Amino acid sequence: MLDGMFSFVLLDTRDNSFIVARDAIGITSLYIGWGLDGSVWISSELKGLNDDCEHFETFPPGHLYSSKAGGLRRWYNPPWFSEAIPSTPYDPLVLRSAFENAVIKRLMTDVPFGVLLSGGLDSSLVASVTARYLAGTKAAKQWGAQLHSFCVGLEGSPDLKAGKEVAEYLGTVHHEFHFTVQDGIDAIEDVIYHIETYDVTTIRASTPMFLMSRKIKSLGVKMVISGEGSDEIFGGYLYFHKAPNKEEFHRETCRKIKALHQYDCLRANKSTSAWGLEARVPFLDKEFINAAMSIDPEWKMIKPEQGHIEKWILRRAFDDEDHPYLPKHILYRQKEQFSDGVGYNWIDGLKGHAEQHVTDKMMLNAAHIFPHNTPTTKEAYYYRMIFERFFPQNSAGLTVPGGASIACSTATAVAWDASWSKNLDPSGRAALGVHNSAYEEKLPPVANGTLASKIIGNVPQMMGVTSPELTIRG
C-alpha cells in the first residue's frame, strides 16, 4: 500500500494510457479538469487548468484515476473512514511510539531542514521528538546534529514567547521572524494567488506562514517538519469542549480529517511550495492516524472536572517524568489556532482593513454577486473579490468549501451550542466561555512596519545555512 505524501501521473508510453493518484489525506494538492475536446488535464494548481478546461475540480485524496477505466476509485479506505465508533483502550506508550515512528520516518532527507515551532503542543512535540532522534540519522551526519527551528508572529505574540521558550529548552538554533499587520495585509493578494482559496481561516493562517516560508528558504533550508493534523485527530479545537457525547466527538474528528485537504493541508503545502520549501507532517502518517483513530473516543473527550483538557491523551502520552519531552506548562498549554497565536491583533487588523474596503451596500448585494458560498462578513467578501479576480471561472469557486463555522468547526458541530450561531467566526477566540482570551475588545489600529527576523542565541549554524539579520520592506 502506498505511503507518504504524493500526487503523480504515471504514463504508459506503449498505449498512452495513464493513472493519476493522490496521497491518503491530501497533503499535496491536486486538481483534475476536462476540456471541450475530450481531453483530461491534471495539475497541482488551479492556475494550470484555468485557460484550457471547461470544468475542473479538486482531485479527491486517497483516490486513483485510470484513463482506461475512465473514472475515480478510492484506494485508501481505513477503518475510521466509515465513522464507526472504535473501542480500543487508550495506551499512552502505544500512542507515543506511533508518533515517534512517524517523525523518525520523516527524517530521511538529503537537504538542509528544520522544524516549524510555534510553541503550541503539536509543533513542540514535533520539535522535541525530532531533536531527540536526530543525532543518529544520516541527515545529522550531513547537516549537523543541532536542529533549526522557526517561528513567526507579531511583536509580543503568544507564539513567539512560547516558541522561544521551547527552543531554549530543546537547545535548537531558533529563528524568530517578526511581521506587522500591515506586512500581512500587503501580502494578502499574493497569498490568495498562491493558496487558491477564499476561505477566511485558511487565508488568516496562510499569510504569516507564507511570509515565514520566504524567510526560511532564504536561509538555504529546503524542508520543514510541521504539526498539522493533530487537532483534527484528537479533537483539539476549542469547540470540542461542547461535544455532547463520544459518538458525536468521533464523527466530527472523522469529518475534520476528511476535509483537511481543503484547509490545513492546502495551507501548509501551498504556503511553503510557493517558495520552493517542502513541508512534512508526521501527525498525518497513515499508521499514526490508524493508531489514534482506533482509540475509544471516550478518552478524547474534554473533561475539565477530571483535568482532561483538549488533546489530553496526546499530552499524557508525552508526560514523561524521567525523560521529559517538554516543560509541563507547554505540554498543557491551551490550544491556539495558528492565525490567533501569531498575535491577536492580526485577525482584528484584517477585519479592520476589510471594513475600509467593503461597504454595507456591497454586503446587501452579496447573495446576488456570489450566490455560491455567499460571504457573510466584510472580511470574507474582501477575500472573495480578490479570489474572483485571479480565478473568475465558476469551477474555481466551487473548489472552496463553505458553510457555518465556529472556531474551525464543521457546520454540523455549530449545533452543539445554541449561542454559537450568533457568533460565527473561525477564530478560536470565538469559542466564548472556552478560550482564555475570547473576543471582548474593539479593533486596534493597523500598524505599519517591516518584516524582520532574528536568531535566538549564539549557536553554531547548520552546514550550508547562513543566518544574517534579514529585513523585508513592504
Q: Could you tell me which residues are annotated as the binding site for ATP?
A: 116, 152, 226-227
In angstroms, the CA 329 to CA 176 distance is: 21
How many helices and strands in the chain, by DSSP H and E? 18, 14
Tell me how many degrees the CA angle 78-80-86 measures, rounded to the nearest 5.
130
* CB-CB contact of 139 with 109 (8 Å): yes
DSSP single-letter state for residue 9: E
DSSP 369-405: H--SS---SHHHHHHHHHHHHH--SHHHHHTS--S--
Query: Which residue is associated with the grid cell 520566504?
Result: 214
In angstroms, the CA 376 to CA 339 distance is: 20
Quick one: 22 exposed, middle or buried, by C-beta within 10 A (0-12, 13-18, 19+)? buried
Sign of the Cα pseudo-torsion (244, 245, 246, 247, in order): negative
Q: CB-based contacts of 288: which residues, under 8 Å, 6+ apart?
A: 98, 99, 101, 102, 282
In angstroms, the CA 348 to CA 361 distance is: 22
C-beta neighbour count of 37 within 10 angstroms? 7
In angstroms, the CA 457 to CA 280 distance is: 26
Query: Closest Cα partner for 253 from 233, 271, 238?
Result: 233
Exposed e or buried b per residue across 419-429, where buried means at least 16 C-beta atoms within 10 angstroms of its C-beta: ebeeebbbbbb
Query: Closest Cα partner for 244 from 413, 420, 84, 424?
Result: 413
Kindly give the pairing relationship between strand 113-116 and strand 148-153. Answer: parallel
Report the binding-site residues: 116, 152, 226-227
In angstroms, the CA 459 to CA 249 distance is: 44
* CB-CB contact of 30 with 266 (8 Å): no
* CB-CB contact of 427 with 407 (8 Å): yes
Helix (H, G, I), strand (E, B) or coil at 448: coil
* CB-CB contact of 152 with 159 (8 Å): yes
